[in-house]
Every structure is written in C-alpha cells, then in structure tokens.
Amino acid sequence: MKHLFKPLAVAAAAFCVPATTMAADWTPPGPITMMIGFAAGGGADTQARLIAQGIEEKYGWKILPKQVTGNSGLSLASELAAAPADGTAIGMVVSESLTYSALAADNPDLQLEKFTPLATTASFELGLVAMADGPFNTWDKTKAAGEAGDPIRFGVASDRQADVAYLFGKQAGIDFNIVPVKGGAGVMNGLRGGDLDIGFVAGAQSKAVQQGELVNIASGISTTLKDSPDAPMITDLGSAFSLDGYFMFIAPGDLDPAAREALGAAIEDVLNDPETEAHKLVSKGFGGADVITGEALDAKMQELLDNAAELLDAANAG
C-alpha cells in the first residue's frame, strides 16, 4: 500500500531537504532524469541505478533512470545536449565518450566543452588479459610469438583501445590482428572460446583474475593494477599511450554552478558512504570509488582530452 502515499512521501522528503543537507541550498525543481549509457543489467548500469537509489534515499530527490545506449556514449550525449540545463537531466557515460569518441566523431555539438562534467565514480582497472594456462600468459611469451611471426589476435572493445593496441604493436615490432568485439565481456568470451589470444578488459576481468582463470599480463593504465601489482604497465613495455579513464556523470552545458556543486556533492556523498549499496558495488567490482568533482575534474578532463587528441594524431599518422 505504501506506493499510494508515494507523492506524499516525496513531498515530505523534499520539505526536509534543507534541514538534512548542508552542502548546498540547491534542490532540483522537479524529478531528475538519469540517462544511462550502458546496456541494462551490466555492472555499469547497476552502478548508475544504485547511485540513483542512494541519492533518493539520502536526499529525497526523485530520480528517473533511463537507458540511452549506443555509439560509444554519443547517443546519450546528443540526447542530453537537448535536455534542459537545470539539473533535472544528467547522464552516466565513460570519460572516453566525451574525449576520444567525441573527437573521432568530429561532431561540433558533442564536444566536451558543450557539457558540464559532474563527478567521476570509479576509474578503469584496465588490463591486457590472457588465459592463465594459455600460451600467451606473459608479455615475454606474447612478444616472442609475435616476433616469430605467429599471428596474434588482440581483442579490443573500442576504437581507442584499437588505436593504442596498434601503436603499441608497432612500437614493439608486432603486427597484431586487432579484433574489435563487443565490450569487455566479448573479449573475455573470445579468450575462453579460443577465438582471441589477448585483449584489453577495463575491470570486468577482476574476479576471473583473482580466481586464477585469467591473468593480467600488463596494466593498460598509468598505474599498476590492484589485482596484479606485479604486471608491468604497457607504457613500460614500449607503448606511448595508456588507457586511463573513468565512469562519470555529466550534465548539459552551462549548468547552474549551484546545481553542479549540489549534484556532484550528492554523488560523492553516496559513493563514499560505506553503508550504501552503491559503495559496496563499486568497492567489490570497480576497484573502489574514485570521485573527482569541480575544478579538479575539469583539469582531469582536459588532460584526458589532450591525450585523446595526441592518440588520434599518432594513430592517423601511423
């Protein structure tokens, strides 16, 4: 029966907001539409929905989640760009969408400066992965096989990963057969089925690595991986680029600064509270919360954008 009183409950919660949150005076003028740029049911989708649930519980703001998938997050970006910039429309994507993908698609309406970054939630634990008991379970074996001229199938889940893999291979003197597949799950299935030899996975490999089925033969990011601290970084192995990135929330451009601060603080609050489901999920499956907001986030995004531009230039030149 409690749903019958839903409007009342929401009204009451909204009434209480100023008393319970000291972070900001801002409250959303109506329900917030949260666009999710990931397929329903996956880890990233669950993360977004649990954050929405956490904000509803903590702040009493009504959040309406909605799937907007496709085109590496650019479908979401174009729908979000058309939504009102009053804090009632936000979206969850990966940082790659507004940096590398936006640059590569070359659509002036979907560039980073047309959006307001709100907060990151977690960073990629991106590894170069292979079967633990297979012939490519270390970088040395992979390199030796590649130098001997054996064709090596390298699974990638995005164009950015493909570019890094190509340039990495060129640097290392290996001509990889770069195979674009669907997401990290596609890479892992390809490895298990013997269709792929190695591949980039952005965090979904964690459990299988801990249990010894798969192995991170290298870290694809600029730090070592939490699961495999001994694995070298691809930048140590000759790659000029790494694949750092974040899951993050964005809003339309020219968002009211008060709304930006309040929304960012709400996301941070939920993710850093050990009691929330969102925190538990992110700790278990995404290497822990990694929330960046405000000016630090602007600087981080600019750095990622510059990296992406360099990567595109290098790949196009090669």
Q: Which residues bind other proteins (CB under 8 A)?
A: 3-4, 6-7, 10, 29-31, 33, 39-42, 45-46, 49, 62, 64-66, 68-72, 74-75, 78-79, 84, 88, 101, 104-105, 107, 151, 153, 159, 162-163, 166-167, 170, 177-182, 185, 189-190, 192-196, 207-208, 211-213, 315-316, 318
Nearest residue (CB) to other proteins, 78 versus 232 = 78
Q: Find where tokens 């493909």 sit.
A: 162
Calculated CA dihedral for residues 33, 38, 43, 49, nearest 10 degrees: 10
Nearest residue (CB) to other proteins, 88 versus 307 = 88
Enter the DSSP assignment of 182. Answer: S
Nearest residue (CB) to other proteins, 118 versus 196 = 196
Instruction: State which H helix or E strand residue 143 sits in.
Output: helix 139-147
Enter the DSSP assignment of 233. Answer: B
Shortest Å, Cβ 294 to other proteins: 27
| Percent of the chain as helix, strand, coil, to the nearest 5 | 45, 20, 35
Nearest residue (CB) to other proteins, 98 versus 292 = 98
Nearest residue (CB) to other proteins, 179 versus 289 = 179
Q: How many angstroms separate the CA atoms of 118 and 137, rounded?
A: 39
Strands (E), the chain: 32-36, 63-67, 89-94, 115-123, 127-131, 153-156, 177-180, 198-201, 214-219, 246-252
Contact between 287 and 123 under an 8 Å Cβ cutoff? The reply is yes
Shortest Å, Cβ 292 to other proteins: 26
Nearest residue (CB) to other proteins, 87 versus 297 = 87
Nearest residue (CB) to other proteins, 49 versus 114 = 49
Q: Which residues, in sequence order, are CB contacts of 313 under 8 Å at separation 6+?
A: none
Shortest Å, Cβ 259 to other proteins: 14
Shortest Å, Cβ 182 to other proteins: 6
Check the CA dihedral 163-164-169-172 and report its sign.
positive
Nearest residue (CB) to other proteins, 143 versus 153 = 153
Structure tokens at 131: 């079967």
Calculated CA dihedral for residues 196, 233, 224, 163, nearest 10 degrees: -60
Shortest Å, Cβ 53 to other proteins: 9
Q: How many angstroms separate the CA atoms of 58 and 187, rounded?
A: 37
